[in-house]
Structure 1
Amino acid sequence: MASTNGVTVRSARADERAEIVRLSEVCFGMRLGPADLEYVGQVFPIERALVAVDGDRIVGHTNDRTMTVTVPGARTVQACGVTSVVVAPTHRRRGILRALYTEQHRRTEAERVPLTIFTASEGTIYGRFGYGPSIVANEISVRGRTAEFRPTTPDPGGVQVASLDEAKVRLPEIYDRWRRLVPGAQARPEGRWQQRFFADAVQNEESSPQFFLIHPDGYAILRRAWHEDKNIATVREVRAVTAEAHAALWRILLSLDLVHTVEATLSDHDPLPYLVTNPRLVRVTGRHDALWTRIMDIPAALTARTYQRDLDLVLSVDDPFRDAGGSFALRVRDGVAECARTDRTPDLELGIDVLGSLYFGGYRAKVFAAANRIQAKDAAVLRAFDEAFTAERDAELGWFF
C-alpha cells in the first residue's frame, strides 16, 4: 500500500497478532488478559487491521469495524468505529499516523460509510484529521446514604438484584431498547457483552465481582471496593429507557448499605441532581470527551438525522484532511433534511471537525461561534442553525472501544 520514510502501511496478517498486541500494550501502558484478547479478536478481527512496517517490525497499527449508531430522531446510521491507533515510541514524528489514517479513511470512503468515530486517548491529535469531540461524559461522586430524594421524586420500585445468568439474558434486550433512543449509542456486539460479563464477573484483588440491578426498563452494573477504609461503589453502567426506571435505579444505588461513596458517569443533563433535595451532593469530579466524530459524507450524514426546527441555508465546510468539504445547501422541513453540493454563497462557515462535534447534538453551535470557529452571516442564521442541531436526549456513548 502506502510508504513513507521507509515505513510501509499494509493490511495485517493473522500471524502478526501477537506482535500487534505487544505494541498496543507498550503504547497504552497495560496488559491485556485472556478475555480481552478474545474480545478484541471477535469484535475487531485482524482482517480489518492495518499495520505500519519498518523492515520486519510492526511500528504502527489501527483497526476498525462498522457500527450501527443512533442519531437524533431515533434513527440509525452506519459508522466506521476505529480502535487501537498506535505508533511505536521509537518511530514518532515520521508521518506514520498520517499514513495509517490516510489509508484508513480511503478505505472508509470506498465503503461509502458516512461517519467515522472513535474514543480518543489524547485530545490534541485528531482535529487535524477532521475529528471533533461529539459526546461529553461527567464523572460524579455522591457520599453514600446522604442524598435525600425530593417528595416529588417518583418511587416506582420494580428493581431486583439479578444473578449473572439473569443479567446475560435480560441486559442485552434492555440495552438495545435504550440505545435506539439515545444519540451516539451503538448496537453492542455479542463479543463485547461476553467480555463485560465474563472478564469482569469475578472478584479480584482490587474490587468485588460485578453486581447487577435490573428494572423492566433499565439496569445498573456496579462493583464495590475498599480504599483507605472506605467502601466505594463504582457504577459502571446505568441504562434507563424511561424516567421511572432511572429514578428507581438511583433510589437503590444511593441507599446501598456500608457504602461511603457512589461513583458514576452522567451526561450533561442527567436528572439525578434534580431528584434530590441537595443537588450539591452530586459532585462533578471530572469531565471528558467520550467520543470523537468525523463526517465522511456530508449529505449522507446530515440527511440521516432529524432536526429541531426548519432550516434553509448554505454551509461552507472546510476539510483539511480529505475531500469531504465544500459548500452544501441544507434544507430542513418538519425535521427532515435535504442536502446537496451547491455553488451558492454560504450563510455559515465552519470546519468539518466542528460539524462532527455538532452532529449528535452534544455540543452547541453558538458556543463554537463565540470561539470564532463558526462564522455566520448574521445572528438569525446562527440562532436557527444552533437550535436545529440540538437533540431531545443527551448524546451518550453506548460502549467503549
Structure 2
Amino acid sequence: MVSAKSVSVRAATADDVAAITALQEAGFGIRFGGDENEFRGRIFPVERALVAVDGDRVVGHTVDLPMTVTVPGDRGVRVCGVSGVSVAPTHRRRGILRELYGAQHERTEAEGMPLTIFTASEGTIYGRFGYEVSVLDTGIAIETRRAQFRSTTPDPGGVTLETPVDVAPRIREIYRRWQQVTPGAQARPDAKWDMVFADVERQRRGATTLFALLHADGYALYRRSAREGRGVAIVAEFRAVTPDAHAALWRVLLGLDLVELVEAEIADDDPLSYLLTDPRAVQVTRRGDSLWTRVMDIPAALTARTYRGDLDTVLAVHDPFRGAGGNFALRIRDGVAECEPTTRDAALRCDINVLGGLYFGGVRAKTFAAAHRLLAEDAAVLRAFDAAFTTERAPQLGWFF
C-alpha cells in the first residue's frame, strides 16, 4: 500500500529495529537505556510492528500487542493494544499516520478483536481515527504533616517492607486479583513484569530504585527522592484489592521517615481524601487521560460487557474512518446485552469515538450529551442509556504501554 507521497507501509523485520528505536527516541524525546532494550523487544516484538518507509529510510512506525483487558462485569476480553506510534519530523502532514493506522486497523479487524486501546502522548490526533479518552486518572501530592487519619479510619496493619524482586510472585498475584475486578486494567505479560523488577534506570528519573510495601491484599511500589531540600516518596504503583489493604498501605506511606511529600496517582473513586481529617491535604496536581479506546466491532464490543440497567433502543453510530458504523438495536436485560444491525430509526446518535469513551464507564453518557456529542430524541431514553453504562467501580489503566 502506497501513500500519495510514495511512502509505503510494510511489516517490520529485525533489520528495522535500530531505525525504529532511533525514530521513537526522536519522536518522544527520550533515550532508551541499554538495560531496557531487551525488555522492549520482548514486550512488543518486531513481528507485530508496521513501518512506513521512504526509499530505504524508516519514517513511521506502529506496533501492537494482543492484550486481555477487564471490561465491566469483571470479564476478560482480548483486545488490540497499540504502542510506539511515531512519524519522523521530516515527514509530517503527508498522510503517513493515516496509512499506518489504516493497515493497523485492517489487521485488528482480520484478527477479530472488538476493541483497540492505547496510551496517547498527544490529545488532538486520534479522535479522527475513532478514538476517545476512556480512562482518566488524577495525580496527587500530600504533605505528610497535614495527613492525619480520622479516628474512624481502620488501622489494619499487616504491611511489610520488602525488596520488590524478592516478593515478585506475591506482587504478581495481587496484581492479577486487582486487574480481574478493575475495568480498563490489562493482564500484564511476563516480559513487562521482568522490566518492572529489573527497575531500569530510565524509569527512575533521578530517584532511587524501587521499594515495596506488601500486604496480603495489596502492594505499593515507591521511590525516594529529594526536591528543594524536602524528602519525597514517589508512588510508582499502588494496587489494593480490599479496603483494609488500601488503608494499611496509605498509613505506612504517609508515615515514612524523612518524607515530607508523597506523590501518587489515584482513580476517580479512591477514598483516600475521606480517610483524612483534612481532605484538602490531598492536592490534585494533574488530571488527565490514561487510556484511549476505539470500538472496532460494535455488536461484539457491546455484548462483551455487562450493564447496570435495562434498555431497548436503537443507536446510530457514525464511523468516517473504518466504516464500522450504522444503526444498531441494543437490548439489555438483567445486565446482558444483545446488539445487531437494524433498519429501524435511531433514538440516539453519536460518532464511534463516543462509544469508546463510554465503554469502561470512565465517562458518563450524559456528559457526552451535554457536550452535544451524543444526541437523544427523548430525555428518558438518554437517562436509561446513561444508567445502563455506569459501572460500580471506576476504571483504571493497568500498565502504561
Please indicate the TM-score interval, normalised by the length of the shorter structure.
over 0.9
What does residue range 2-401 of structure 1 map to in structure 2 within 5 Å? Answer: 2-200=2-200, 206-401=206-401
Aligned residues: 401
For residue 197 of structure 1, report the CA deviation from its aligned partner.
Answer: 1.1
Q: Counterparts of 1:158 and 1:166 in 2: how far apart (Å)? A: 18
Q: Counterparts of 2:202 and 2:30 in 1: how far apart (Å)? A: 19
Q: Counterparts of 2:390 and 2:358 in 1: how far apart (Å)? A: 8
Given the superposition, is the C-alpha separation of residues 143 and 298 from structure 1 closer, same or farther in structure 2, using an over 3 Å criterion? same
TM-score, normalised to structure 2's length?
A: 0.98
Mapped contact 1:35–1:199 kept (Cα < 8 A): no
- Which amino acid letter does the alignment assign opposite residue 150 of structure 2? R
For residues 25-81 of structure 1, what are the alpha-carbon distances to aligned partners after superposition, in whole Å with 9 as ceiling and x for unaligned?
Answer: 000000011232112110110001000000110000000010000001101111100
Q: Counterparts of 1:56 and 1:202 in 2: how far apart (Å)? A: 30
Q: Counterparts of 2:36 and 2:65 in 1: how far apart (Å)? A: 17
For residue 205 of structure 1, report the CA deviation from its aligned partner.
Answer: 8.0
- Which amino acid letter does the alignment assign opposite residue 207 of structure 2? S
For residues 292-332 of structure 1, what are the alpha-carbon distances to aligned partners after superposition, in whole Å with 9 as ceiling and x for unaligned?
Answer: 00000010100010001111111101111002111111111
- Which amino acid letter does the alignment assign opposite residue 86 of structure 1? S
Q: Counterparts of 2:255 and 2:379 in 1: how far apart (Å)? A: 48
For residue 201 of structure 1, report the CA deviation from its aligned partner.
Answer: 8.0
Mapped contact 2:199–2:209 kept (Cα < 8 A): no
- Which amino acid letter does the alignment assign opposite residue 189 of structure 1? P
Q: Counterparts of 1:375 and 1:212 in 2: how far apart (Å)? A: 48
Mapped contact 1:145–1:255 kept (Cα < 8 A): no
Q: Counterparts of 1:335 and 1:318 in 2: how far apart (Å)? A: 25
For residues 173-193 of structure 1, what are the alpha-carbon distances to aligned partners after superposition, in whole Å with 9 as ceiling and x for unaligned?
Answer: 100000000000000001111
Q: Counterparts of 1:75 and 1:13 in 2: how far apart (Å)? A: 35
- Which amino acid letter does the alignment assign opposite residue 361 of structure 2? G
Q: Counterparts of 1:184 and 1:205 in 2: how far apart (Å)? A: 27
Mapped contact 1:200–1:210 kept (Cα < 8 A): no
For residues 236-282 of structure 1, what are the alpha-carbon distances to aligned partners after superposition, in whole Å with 9 as ceiling and x for unaligned?
Answer: 11101111111111111111111111000011121001111110000
| 3-state SS of paired residue (1:303) | helix
Mapped contact 1:202–1:208 kept (Cα < 8 A): no
| Structure 2 residue ranges without an equivalent (≥5) | none
Q: Counterparts of 2:49 and 2:204 in 1: how far apart (Å)? A: 32
Q: Counterparts of 1:272 and 1:299 in 2: how far apart (Å)? A: 38
- Which amino acid letter does the alignment assign opposite residue 335 of structure 1? G
- Which amino acid letter does the alignment assign opposite residue 298 of structure 2? I
Mapped contact 2:32–2:202 kept (Cα < 8 A): no
Identity %: 61
Given the superposition, is the C-alpha separation of residues 221 and 400 from structure 1 closer, same or farther in structure 2, using an over 3 Å criterion? same
TM-score, normalised to structure 1's length?
A: 0.98
- Which amino acid letter does the alignment assign opposite residue 210 of structure 2? Q
Q: Counterparts of 1:84 and 1:281 in 2: how far apart (Å)? A: 37
Mapped contact 1:80–1:116 kept (Cα < 8 A): yes
Q: Counterparts of 1:16 and 1:270 in 2: how far apart (Å)? A: 43
Mapped contact 2:142–2:263 kept (Cα < 8 A): yes
| 3-state SS of paired residue (2:398) | coil
Q: Counterparts of 2:203 and 2:365 in 1: how far apart (Å)? A: 45
For residue 153 of structure 1, report the CA deviation from its aligned partner.
Answer: 1.1
Pairwise CA RMSD: 1.3
- Which amino acid letter does the alignment assign opposite residue 187 of structure 1? A
| 3-state SS of paired residue (2:316) | strand
Mapped contact 2:33–2:202 kept (Cα < 8 A): no
For residue 203 of structure 1, report the CA deviation from its aligned partner.
Answer: 11
Q: Counterparts of 1:59 and 1:341 in 2: how far apart (Å)? A: 39
Q: Counterparts of 1:386 and 1:60 in 2: how far apart (Å)? A: 39
Mapped contact 1:135–1:291 kept (Cα < 8 A): yes
Given the superposition, is the C-alpha separation of residues 71 and 205 from structure 1 closer, same or farther in structure 2, using an over 3 Å criterion? closer
246-255 or 197-206, which moves further after superposition?
197-206
| 3-state SS of paired residue (1:35) | coil
Mapped contact 2:36–2:200 kept (Cα < 8 A): no
For residue 2 of structure 1, report the CA deviation from its aligned partner.
Answer: 3.7
Q: Counterparts of 1:76 and 1:111 in 2: how far apart (Å)? A: 17
Mapped contact 1:365–1:386 kept (Cα < 8 A): yes
143-152 or 272-281, which moves further after superposition?
143-152
Q: Counterparts of 1:323 and 1:243 in 2: how far apart (Å)? A: 44
- Which amino acid letter does the alignment assign opposite residue 252 of structure 1? V
Q: Counterparts of 1:164 and 1:100 in 2: how far apart (Å)? A: 39
For residue 204 of structure 1, report the CA deviation from its aligned partner.
Answer: 6.8
For residue 147 of structure 1, report the CA deviation from its aligned partner.
Answer: 0.9
Mapped contact 1:186–1:397 kept (Cα < 8 A): yes
Q: Counterparts of 2:79 and 2:92 in 1: how far apart (Å)? A: 29
For residues 353-374 of structure 1, what are the alpha-carbon distances to aligned partners after superposition, in whole Å with 9 as ceiling and x for unaligned?
Answer: 0110000000001011011001
